[in-house]
Amino acid sequence: MTALREAFHDFRDAVAHFSRAARHYLAAEFLAWTGHGIFSVLFNLYLVEAGAGEAFVGRAIAASGMGTVAAALPAGWLADRWGRRRTLILGAVLDGLGLLLRASSTHPSLVIGASFLAGMGQSFFQIAAAPFLTDHSTPRERTHLFSTFFACALLAGVFGNALGGLLPTLIRAVVPAASWFLAYRGVLVVGALASAAAALPLLALRGLAEPRPHADAAVPTPHETRRLWPIALNAALIGAGAGFVIPFMNLYFKNRFACSSAQIGVFFGVAQVCTAAATLAAPALARRFGKLRTAVAAELLSLPFLVTLGGERLLPVAVGAFWLRATFMQASTPLLQAFVMEVLPPALRARSTSLNNMVWNLGWAGSATLSGVVLEHYGDAVPFYLTASLYLVAAVTFYLAFRGTHESAARPIGLSEEAKGLRGDGPTSD
C-alpha cells in the first residue's frame, strides 16, 4: 500500500504542474477520442448493415490510413513553421468533417474519399500532439503528462464506446420504425461532431507563445539522425500488426460469438478502463525500471493473450484475453512516446513524429486491406498470429537498438516560456 500511496502522491503532484496549454490539449483529446470511440464500435457495423462486404470495410480503413500517410510530412512541416496549436486545430476540423461525410453516405467513392480526409485530419492532430506537449511541459511532469494524455484518450474511448454501444438500441426503443442502419447513422453523426469540437479548447488558447524549433534548435548530429530509423521500423511493424486485427475486433465478436453492438461497446469500454489504469501506473514502474524496459516488457506480456484470441471459442475467455492484451500493449505507448521525445533533439521531434505516423499508417493500410481478404477466405484466426509475430519483432528490435541508451543522459529538452513556469498566463504572441 505504501508504494501505491507514493505513486498516487507523485502523480497528483505532477498533475498540479501541468501547464494551461497541456490542460486545454487534454480537453481537446477527450473530445476527439469520444468521437473515435463511437466510430470504433459502429462504423464497420454501419457499412455491413448497408450491405458492404468485409473486403470493402478493409478498403475504407485503408483509405483512412493512406490519408494519414499523405498528410504526415506536411503535418510535420506545418507543426514546425505554422505552429503546433494551429496544426492541431486544422487536424480537428478536417477529422470531424471527414467523419461527418463518412456518416452521411454509403456511396463507395464518398466513403473512401471521406475516410481519406478524416485520415489527413488525424495525421495533423496526432503529429503535432507530442511536440506540443513536450514544448509545454518540464522533465518533472513529462512522463506523467504523456501517460495522462494517453489515459485521457482511452477514457474518452470508453465514453465513446458506451455511446456507440447503447445509443442505437435507445434510438430504436424510442423510434421503433427506425432501422439499425438509421440508428447507426444518427449516432455516427454525433461522433463526428464530437471530433470536430476538439478544435474549441485549442481555439481558446489564441495568442499562446510557441517556440520555433526550426529557427533556434541545434543541428542534429549524424548519430542522432540515425536514431530515426529504428524508431520508424518499430512504428511500421506495430502499424502493420495492428491493421490485421484492431479494425476488425467488433466484427470478430459479432461473427464468432454473435455479440450485439451493446455488448461490443461494453467490451471495448472495459478494455479502455483497464488500459487507462495501467497507463496511469506506468510512470511509477518506469521510474524504477526505465521507460524502455517497462514499455518493451509490457508489449511482450501482451503476446500470449493476442494468440489466445486467435483460437479461442469461449466468449468469457476471449473477452478476458481481449482486455489483457489491450492493457499490456497500449500501456507501453505513452512510455515509448516520452522516451522517443527525450532521446531525440528538438529539431528531430516533429520529423520523427511525421515519419512514424507515415510508416505506421502505411503498415496499417496495407495489412487492413489484406486482412479483409484473409477474413473472407481463411477465417479470423490467422490475422491474430500474424499480428503477434510482428509485435514480437517490433519489441525485440527496438530494445536492441536502444538498450545502451541511458535515459537520464538524453539530450536536454529546449523549453518554451510556458514550460519554464509561465504556464500560458504570461507573455503571448499571435
pLDDT at 136 (0 to 100): 86
Residue type at position 311 = G
pLDDT classification of 218: cutoffs 50, 70, 90: low
CB 113 within 8 A of CB 101: yes
In this prediction, residues 248-259 reach a mean pLDDT of: 87
Highest mean pLDDT among 46-50, 362-366, 394-398: 394-398
pLDDT at 97 (0 to 100): 96
Residue with cell string 426503443? 173
DSSP letter for each residue of 83-131 = -HHHHHHHHHHHHHHHHHHHHH---HHHHHHHHHHHHHHHHHHHHHHHH
pLDDT in tens, 4-46: 566 666 667 777 778 899 999 999 999 999 999 999 888 988 9
pLDDT at 312 (0 to 100): 86
Written as nine digits, the cell of 107 is 456511396
Q: Number of helices (H) and strands (E) in the chain: give both, helices first.
A: 17, 0
In this prediction, residues 209-217 reach a mean pLDDT of: 60
pLDDT at 201 (0 to 100): 95
pLDDT over threshold 70, residue 388: yes
pLDDT in tens, 127-184: 888 888 888 888 778 778 888 887 788 788 888 988 988 899 899 888 888 888 999 9
Q: pTM of this prediction?
A: 0.69
The pLDDT > 70 percentage for the chain reads: 90
